[in-house]
C-alpha cells in the first residue's frame, strides 16, 4: 500500500524513535511525534477552544502542559497534511486513542515489547550530546572517545530524567496510562507485537515484515 498509516507504541526506551525514523525513510511517510507537531504548530490559533491561552506557544513558554484538546487538534492537523505517516508518542491514554479513531484509519499498529528491567538499563545508561542531541549508551553504543560525541565533538551528558528514580517513575506512568492503550489496540486487524529486546536490525526486520504484510 502506498502511503500507509502506521502507529508505533511502546514504553520509554523501547526504540520507537529509532525505528520510526527507519520506517519514514523506507516507506516515504512522515514521522509524526507530538513534540514535533507542537513545535511546528506552536502559533496555531486555539482561541475558539476556551482554553487559558490562545496559542500552544503560550503554554510552552509558561512551562505549562498543553491541554489534551489542543494536542488532539495539532495531531489531527499533522496527520491530515501528511501523505502517509508513522505516529510516535500519541495516543498516551484511552481518551486520546478514541480521538485518534475519529481522525484517521490505521493500517498497522506496532507494539514494541521490552521488559521493565531492560528499559531501566537502557534509559539510565543513555548519554546524549549536549550540542547536537545524538544518543549513545554506556554499554550498547559507546562513542569512539569517552564522553565526546562522534558527530560534533560535543559533551555527552545524562539527561535529568534518565536517573533511576525518574526512569522508574516514567515507566509507572506509562504502565498506568498507556498500557491500556496497547490493550485497546490488540483487537485491531493490523496489530503486531514486536520483540523489542532483539538487536535494532532484528527489530527492524520484524517491523518491515509486518508492514509489508498488512499495509
Question: Any idea which residues carry the catalytic annotation?
Answer: 16, 92, 126, 159, 170
102 membership: H or E segment, kind and range:
helix 94-103
In the chain, the N- to C-terminal Cα span, in Å, equals 5
How far apart, in whole angstroms, are the C-alpha atoms of residue 200 and residue 164? 23
How far apart, in whole angstroms, are the C-alpha atoms of residue 212 and residue 197? 22
Q: Using an 8 Å Cβ cutoff, are 122 and 201 in contact?
A: no
How far apart, in whole angstroms, are the C-alpha atoms of residue 42 and residue 88? 19
Residue 151 per-residue DSSP state: T
How far apart, in whole angstroms, are the C-alpha atoms of residue 99 and residue 109? 16
Amino acid at each position: 500500500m502506498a502511503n500507509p498509516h502506521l502507529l508505533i507504541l511502546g514504553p520509554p526506551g523501547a526504540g520507537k524513535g529509532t525505528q520510526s525514523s527507519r520506517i519514514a525513510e523506507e516507506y516515504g511517510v512522515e514521522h509524526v511525534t507530538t513534540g514535533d507537531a507542537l513545535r511546528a504548530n506552536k502559533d496555531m490559533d486555539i482561541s475558539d477552544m476556551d482554553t487559558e491561552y490562545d496559542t500552544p506557544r503560550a503554554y510552552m513558554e509558561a512551562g505549562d502542559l498543553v491541554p489534551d484538546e489542543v494536542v488532539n487538534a495539532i495531531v489531527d492537523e499533522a496527520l491530515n497534511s501528511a501523505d502517509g505517516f508513522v505516529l510516535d508518542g500519541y495516543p498516551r491514554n484511552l481518551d486520546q486513542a478514541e480521538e485518534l479513531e475519529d481522525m484517521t484509519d490505521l493500517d498497522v499498529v506496532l507494539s514494541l515489547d521490552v521488559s521493565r528491567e531492560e528499559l531501566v538499563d537502557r534509559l539510565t545508561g543513555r548519554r546524549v550530546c549536549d550540542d547536537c542531541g545524538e544518543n549513545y549508551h554506556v554499554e550498547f553504543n559507546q562513542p569512539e572517545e569517552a564522553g565526546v560525541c562522534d558527530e560534533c565533538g560535543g559533551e555527552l551528558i545524562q539527561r535529568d530524567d534518565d536517573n533511576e528514580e525518574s526512569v522508574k517513575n516514567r515507566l509507572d506512568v506509562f504502565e498506568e496510562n498507556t498500557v491500556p492503550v496497547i490493550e485497546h489496540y490488540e483487537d485491531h486487524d493490523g496489530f503486531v507485537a514486536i520483540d523489542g529486546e532483539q538487536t535494532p536490525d532484528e527489530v527492524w526486520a520484524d517491523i518491515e515484515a509486518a508492514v509489508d504484510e498488512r499495509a
